[in-house]
Amino acid sequence: MKIISSPQELKEHLKSIKNSIGFQGNQSIGFVPTMGALHEGHISLIKKAKEQNETVVVSIFLNPTQFLKGEDLDKYPKKDEADKKICEISGVDVLFFPQPSDMYGADEVSILAPKVRGYVLEGESRPGHFNGVLTVVMKLFNIVNPTRAYFGKKDAQQLNLISLMVKQFFMSVEIIPVDTVREKDGLALSSRNAYLRKDERAEALKISSSLRLSSAMVSRGVLDAKEIKSAMRELLAPLEIFYVEILDREFNQLSKVEIGNTVILVEVKVGATRLLDNIWL
């Protein structure tokens, strides 16, 4: 596995790979951007990228611009050596490991998330968060120039906004959504789970329970969004609820679940930790 920290060096390296002959025309490059603290969720993204591409690139970059003032940037789990091992074992070809000064300069041009879709849900409680996400993803895409890029469905709004940016900016990469990986008891994997105390971890199970409840209601023929959300909120109490939403796949409000075109999203605070999850119906 090659480890590269310079954006220019990575760009040159991948350009020569991409221009060489692959199975179908040029070589394909699969890209998995991460902030490190890798877990089974990331590994499933890497696996998918390995299946579909000739070369797999993973980036590990704890992106400062997507953390607001007072958020947990300094506290975010760092596991550089373990992360490198995981990438090596998973068969990653190139690991991109830049420093903030490699990615950002002074007085920067940046990306502004859409005024509506970027400032609802997680964007409402973290205004500006998605500007930072989209800025770093645009930079990473321009450096790696991937054929396909892999994102977890767990961060559904992030996935939605990145897909929107790719479409609106006529970018060439194909965005591949990958199913959320869960613990046996249902808890969605997240680097932030490391913050949870034992009692908090038990409380956090209410999140996936509430999503299973919504799915069960829909199976029973209950499609009314208000009714489903109210049942979910009841189950989630007494956690601090940021939102419980039922949206279509383009993130418009739904009053009735549309099978095949619905995302049900939850974000809550467990202790001091913000956790989110969702289910695609």
Q: Binding site for beta-alanine, residues? A: 66
List the structure tokens of 17: 């790979």
Q: Which is nearer to its own copies, 173 or 241 (CB)?
A: 173
With 0-12 / 13-18 / 19 or more C-beta atoms within 10 angstroms meaning exposed / middle / buried, residue 137 is buried
CB of 105 to its own copies, least distance (A): 6
CB of 201 to its own copies, least distance (A): 36
List the structure tokens of 48: 């998918």
Strands 94-96, 55-60: pairing kind: parallel
Q: Which of 18, 42, 126, 274 is catalytic?
A: 42
Binding region for its own copies (CB under 8 A):
7-8, 11, 19, 26, 104-105, 107-118, 131, 134, 138-139, 142-143, 145, 161, 164-165, 168-172
- Binding-site residues for (R)-pantoate sit at 66, 158
Q: What's the Cα-to-Cα distance from 15 to each of 29, 70, 83, 87, 273, rounded to whole Å?
A: 10, 39, 25, 21, 41
Active site residue 42: yes
List the structure tokens of 60: 């590990």
Q: At what angle do helices 129-144 and 156-168 cross, to 10 degrees?
A: 60
CA distance 222 to 120: 26
Positive/negative CA dihedral, 129, 111, 117, 186: negative
DSSP-derived secondary structure for 32-67: EEE-S---HHHHHHHHHHHHH-SEEEEEE---GGGS
Q: Which is nearer to its own copies, 58 or 187 (CB)?
A: 58
CB of 69 to its own copies, least distance (A): 16
In this structure, the number of other CB atoms found within 10 A of the CB of residue 16 comes to: 9
- Binding-site residues sit at 35-42, 66, 152-155, 158, 181, 189-192
CB of 24 to its own copies, least distance (A): 13
CA distance 56 to 47: 9
CB of 9 to its own copies, least distance (A): 11
Q: Which is nearer to its own copies, 57 or 143 (CB)?
A: 143
Q: Which is nearer to its own copies, 133 or 281 (CB)?
A: 133
Catalytic residue list = 42
